[in-house]
């Protein structure tokens, strides 16, 4: 099932979130790895129709994004801005304070989406479950006050989500997890859908590893597209809100040109069959 919906600002389709808002199916990641490019972010906003920016306190670029967004001239209400709470700020009071600080660095009065970045809390004397529950209660309060329009988690597996379900009131609106042809956690995707949790995928190109795979290259030739466009389009057609990252304007432009073609169902299945369980990012499997 394709992630689809009515085009939002910038012309990118958006999907509904349980919070009552709609998230663009294609975003721009701004991970600290590989650096940060002011010009590329401005170009993405001004020329590519990008209206979904994904960042995190850990990436260290929230203040830089404030400047890029301001320079782009795109209205705040037309943007979907996601940032994430790093584990050094977990806990009830810490989380609330960290959210306000992220808003200040980004130059915004509210966040469209705030995520708990990682399930491992690393707090001495407390279990991960205890700290996650305490932190999530702060997230619920931030949501109820309107400081965060939607709240969610990142890198959470079914076990982590089940614990949160038992310990807290509000179901996360979004779960952002690694997703690419080699890492397609379908059981987790199905679980999220059954609970009305939007599944977001990061690293759709497997940090470049998917771009040199013979199957991806073959399909790129078949459709007259680039390997990156095949991976991103495949992810979107699988119903995943997809967040590629690049610091090059021309690459971002390429990554955005994925709404004028469709991969045939049999070719989607070929790409689905490439799953081998490998991670190119963090693996949360062993976190209790």
Would you please indicate which residues are annotated as catalytic (active-site) residues?
59
Q: Find, among 234, 136, 154, the residue nearest to 199 by Cα.
A: 154
Q: Which residue(s) pair with 174 in the sheet?
A: 152, 198
Q: Is 43 annotated as a binding-site member?
A: no
* Token pair recorded at residue 240: 């995943």
Please tell me the distance from the alpha carbon of residue 95 to that of residue 277, in angstroms, as a whole number: 32
Please tell me the distance from the alpha carbon of residue 61 to that of residue 96, in angstroms, as a whole number: 20
Distances in Å between the alpha carbon of 191 and those of 56, 161, 198, 240, 283?
25, 9, 10, 13, 18
**Phi, psi (rounded to 5 degrees) for 73:** 80, 0
Q: Which positions make up the binding site for substrate?
A: 117
Q: Which positions make up the binding site?
A: 117
């Amino acid at each position: 099932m394709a992630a689809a919906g009515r085009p939002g600002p910038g012309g990118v389709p958006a999907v509904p979130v349980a919070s009552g808002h709609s998230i663009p199916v294609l975003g721009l990641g701004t991970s600290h790895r590989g650096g940060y490019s002011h010009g590329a972010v401005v170009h993405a906003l001004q020329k590519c129709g990008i209206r979904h920016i994904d960042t995190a306190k850990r990436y260290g670029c929230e203040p830089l994004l404030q400047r890029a967004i301001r320079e782009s001239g795109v209205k705040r209400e037309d943007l979907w801005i996601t940032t994430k709470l790093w584990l050094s700020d977990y806990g009830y009071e810490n989380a609330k304070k960290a959210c306000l600080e992220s808003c200040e660095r980004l130059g915004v009065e509210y966040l469209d989406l705030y995520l708990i970045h990682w399930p491992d809390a690393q707090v001495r004397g407390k279990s991960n479950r205890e700290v996650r529950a305490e932190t999530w209660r702060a997230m619920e309060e931030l949501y109820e006050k309107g400081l965060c329009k939607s709240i969610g988690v990142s890198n959470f597996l079914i076990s982590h989500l089940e614990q949160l379900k038992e310990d807290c009131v509000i179901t996360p609106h979004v779960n952002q997890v690694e997703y690419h042809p080699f890492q397609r956690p379908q059981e987790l995707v199905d679980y999220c859908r059954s609970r009305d949790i939007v599944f977001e995928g990061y690293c759709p190109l497997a940090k470049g590893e998917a771009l040199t795979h013979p199957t991806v290259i073959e399909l790129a030739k078949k459709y007259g597209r680039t390997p990156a466009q095949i991976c991103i389009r495949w992810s979107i057609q699988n119903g995943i809100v997809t967040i590629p990252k690049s610091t090059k304007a021309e690459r971002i432009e390429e990554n955005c040109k994925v709404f004028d073609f469709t991969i045939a169902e049999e070719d989607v299945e070929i790409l689905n069959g490439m799953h081998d369980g490998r991670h190119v990012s963090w693996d949360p499997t062993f976190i209790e």
